[in-house]
Each structure stands twice: as C-alpha cells, then as structure tokens.
Amino acid sequence: MRGPVNHPTTHRSGAVLLTMTAASLFAMFFGAGNLVFPPMLGAQAGEGFTPALIGFMLSAVALPILAVLAIAVTGEDIRDMTSRGGRVFGVLFPVLVYLSIGASYALPRTAAVSYSAAVPPLTDVDNWPAKFAFAAVFFALTYVLAFDPDGIIDTIGKFLTPILVALMAVLVTLTLTTMERQSAPAAADYAEQPFVAGFLEGYLTMDSLAALALGIVVATTLTHSGIKPGKPLVRSVAVAGVAAGLMLALVYLGLAAIGQRLPDGQKYTDGATMLSDAARETMGFGGTVVFALIVVLACLTTSVGLLGATSAFFARLVPSISYRTWALVFSVVSLLISTLGLDKVIEVAAPIIGFLYPPGMALILLTLLEPLLRIRLHLAFVFALTVALAWSALMTLSSLGWGTDVIESLIGWAPGHAEQLGWMLPTLAAALVGGAIDLMRGTPERPARRETAEPAEVGT
C-alpha cells in the first residue's frame, strides 16, 4: 500500500505545492465556456459593466472555490457531503453530477469545441472523419495525462497552465493596447438588472458543479503530499482556492474588457467568434493560431481534470473496477459522443444540469456554514436538500413544458422565480426550520467515516 512518503510531491516545499495546486485548479476550471462567456458579458453589459461583472465573479469564481473548500471540510469527497441528505440522495446525486459533467456532456464538449476552434479555421476541413480523428487524438492525450491520478496536479500545474496563461496574456494585452473601448448602452437582460444577469451568466458555467467533482483531485493530491486531513487540509485548500480564484478573476476581467473593445460588439452571438476576431484583428493569421491553441489548451486541462475526478469517484464507488479502466471507458464514451450528435446530448444534459444546481448550491453553503455555527446539523441538511430538490424538479419540468400551468401556480410566487432563483427562499426557510429543530433536540453524532481505499490506490 502506497503512503504519502512515497509520493514525489511530498518532497516539495509547501509554497511550491500550493502554487502548483492553485495553477492546476485554475486550469481545470477554465474550460471553453469560461473562455467565451466573459467577452459576451463585456459587450452586452455596456454601461452596466461593473455590476454585471461583480455578479459574474460571485457565481463563476466565489461559488466554485467555496465548493472545493466544502470538499476539504468534509475530509473526503462529494459523497461525504451528499450523505447528509440521506442514503438515496447520498449516492444518486453525486452519480448524476459526475455523469453530467463527465462523459455524458462536459467531456465530449471539450473535444467538440476544440475541434471547432482549431481544425476548420486552420485547415478548411470539416467532416465526420476529421472530427473522429481529432477526438481520438484529443482523448488519447487526455487519457495519458490523467493516467496517474496522483500526477494530475503536476501535469497541469507545471506544464499546461503556464502555456495557457501566457497565450491568453498575449491576446488580452494586444487587444487592450491596440483597440479603444466602445461606448454602448446595456443590451438584453443587462439593461434592467445587470448584476442578476451577470450572476446568472456565471451560474450557467457549471463550475460550481464541476468543483464538487474536482475537489477530490485537489484534496487527494494535497493529502498524498503529506498534508493531514482536517484544519491543515482546509487551510491549504483555502490558500490554493483563493489564489486560483484571483487568477480566474483577472482573466475574466481581461476577457470581458475585450468584449468592450470590439467594434459593434453587441452584434456577436457568441464569445468564441468575438475572441477569434479580436485575435485576427491584432495578430493576423497568427492570431487564429494563437486562439486555436488557447481553446485547445483550455479544453484539454479541463478534460484531464474531469476525467481524473470522474474516474476516481467511480473507482471508489465500484472498487472492483480500477481507476484506469474507468478512465478508459469514459474516454471512449466521450469520444463517441463528441462525434455523434453532441447537440442532442446538450439538449438532454441542460435540464439535468439545471436540476442539479439548486441542491448543489444548498449543499455547499450548508457544509461551510455548519462549522462556523458550531452546531451539528442534521435535519437542516435533510429539509433544505429535500426542498431544493423538489423545487428544482418542478422548475425543470416547467421549463420542459410538462404541466407548466399547474407548476407555475405552485412555485411562481417565489422571489427570483423569473431568474430561475425561486428555489432560494423556500430552501433557506427549510434549512432554518431544520436547524432550529437540530438546536432544540441536539443532533446525534455523525456516523463514522466510511472505510475506502486510499486515494493513491485508485490508479493501480
């Protein structure tokens, strides 16, 4: 059995380890969606740029970092968090989270977006054999880089992140120094509520759900490097998380500023085209190459992190199947989906992701709130997660057009309902009721942590 002393990162200084962890966490978060959302915000927000960006930073930076911190607080992974909502919730919710951000949606999307940004613009080739060949190479490289779950932080933090950051710095710097800011009124949803519109834009990046999955990579790496669970682990994750959050915030600010500088920026329908035009405008054909590299690297780092996290989770859930076998299975499935009807998969995945967000947010916040209150919560978790889950299910059914009239009469009264945030007040009320009962009756001790194989062994 391998112990922490045998892991190569054990011999690194704490500062170097945390720096690499922060860089890796930044890169794993920063995927295709994170690249293209901020420029659109910059163009559409117009005069409401500042409140819109603040809202975006809260949901696309603060919430994901809090989610990773919540994983460290529990000491293990997402199952330790979700078990607080009951046995069924404790298994089904993390399985759905990992599948939605893994092989069924987010992983295939990384290859599909990389292909769209790199192959057709540079080669004028766009057909199914080219898509398949590109995806095969992309996921083969992803599998190789994620082959050793303990080395993912090393791979991303030491090699991929510096290249990604350098390329983005070139694009942002050239754009900001050669193009003037365009003055325009706020458009679309930003005209009325720029803060809410920005918050929802970041909310839809899926990073908070991804953080629940990626937290296992960070926590495993740090514990194998000699950092003990408990306060030392939480402190280390907090430092790395804040550093990663600052990196994300700076990059988002730069990308949003690009959106404000492109002439007629509000005519664009997607941020990818906007950034591609900015790169071409400032660097010519070389800009097209630079932008393609940025997208491919952003997607690759996210793909490696998600494949490692998803495979590690299922290796714990089903120990009879090794980490590397799960990684191979998810790589092949992602390859096939990325080339066969990804648009249909997105149509199916979007409602599932929207369904998972409310209970996910409630879970993160309660997990972080419990140690601050110094109260052992039980019914607060059960009540809040039950309400969030039920409310989210009704919202999802309504959005699909199933029983909309009846459902809207039940939940349409909630504040923030029009912005898909109506679940917040009922969930808060349920948490307060459950917390009050917990306080009055005293909550029994939490069950002993389940025995699992050491994280280092999932790769064998």
DSSP for 185-200, written as a single string: ---GGGGT-HHHHHHH
Instruction: Please give the average per-residue pLDDT across 342-354, as a whole number.
Output: 72
Contact 311, 217 (CB under 8 A): no
Task: Decide if pLDDT at 106 tops 50.
Answer: yes
Q: Which amino acid is at 130?
A: A
Model confidence over 119-152: pLDDT tens digits? 888 888 888 899 999 999 999 999 999 888 767 7
Task: Give the pLDDT score at 401.
Answer: 87
**Mean predicted lDDT score pLDDT of the chain:** 83
Q: How far apart are CA 261 and CA 433, in angstroms?
A: 49
- Neighbouring C-alpha atoms within 13 Å toward the C-beta of 14: 10
State the pLDDT confidence band at 70, using cuts at 50, 70 and 90.
Answer: confident
Task: Decide if pLDDT at 12 tops 80.
Answer: no
Could you tell me how far CA 348 lies from the centroid of its own chain?
19
Task: Decide if pLDDT at 459 tops 70.
Answer: no
Task: Considering only residues 77 and 179, tell me which one the structure prediction assigns the higher pLDDT.
Answer: 179
Q: How far apart are CA 147 and CA 277, in angstroms?
A: 36
Q: How far apart are CA 217 and CA 304, in angstroms?
A: 11
- Neighbouring C-alpha atoms within 13 Å toward the C-beta of 162: 7
Most confident of the ranges 124-128, 228-232, 383-387, 437-441: 383-387
pTM of the model: 0.79
Instruction: Please give the average per-residue pLDDT across 398-406, as a whole number.
Output: 89
Task: Give the pLDDT score at 344.
Answer: 67
Which segments of the chain belong to CATH 1.20.1740.10?
4-335
Q: Which strand (E) or helix (H) includes residue 428?
A: helix 424-441
Burial 90-118 (b: 16+ CB within 10 A, else e): beebbebbbbbbbbbbbbbbbbbbbbbbb
State the pLDDT confidence band at 54, using cuts at 50, 70 and 90.
Answer: very high
Model confidence over 251-310: pLDDT tens digits? 999 999 999 998 888 888 878 888 888 898 889 889 989 999 998 988 898 899 889 889
Contact 46, 186 (CB under 8 A): yes
Task: Decide if pLDDT at 447 tops 50.
Answer: no
Model confidence over 164-188: pLDDT tens digits? 888 888 989 998 898 888 888 888 7
Task: Give the pLDDT score at 75.
Answer: 61
Task: Considering only residues 258 and 450, tell me which one the structure prediction assigns the higher pLDDT.
Answer: 258
CATH code linked to domain 4-335: 1.20.1740.10
Task: Considering only residues 310 and 35, tell me which one the structure prediction assigns the higher pLDDT.
Answer: 310
State the pLDDT confidence band at 341, using cuts at 50, 70 and 90.
Answer: low
Q: Calculate what percentage of the chain has a pLDDT beyond 70.
A: 89
Task: Give the pLDDT score at 77.
Answer: 65
Q: How far apart are CA 342 and CA 366, in angstroms?
A: 35
Task: Decide if pLDDT at 445 tops 70.
Answer: no
Most confident of the ranges 80-89, 98-107, 386-395: 386-395
Task: Give the pLDDT score at 343.
Answer: 67
Name the 3-class secondary structure at 426: helix
Q: Which one, of 140, 126, 122, lies nearest residue 300 by Cα?
A: 140
Q: What's the length of the chain?
A: 460
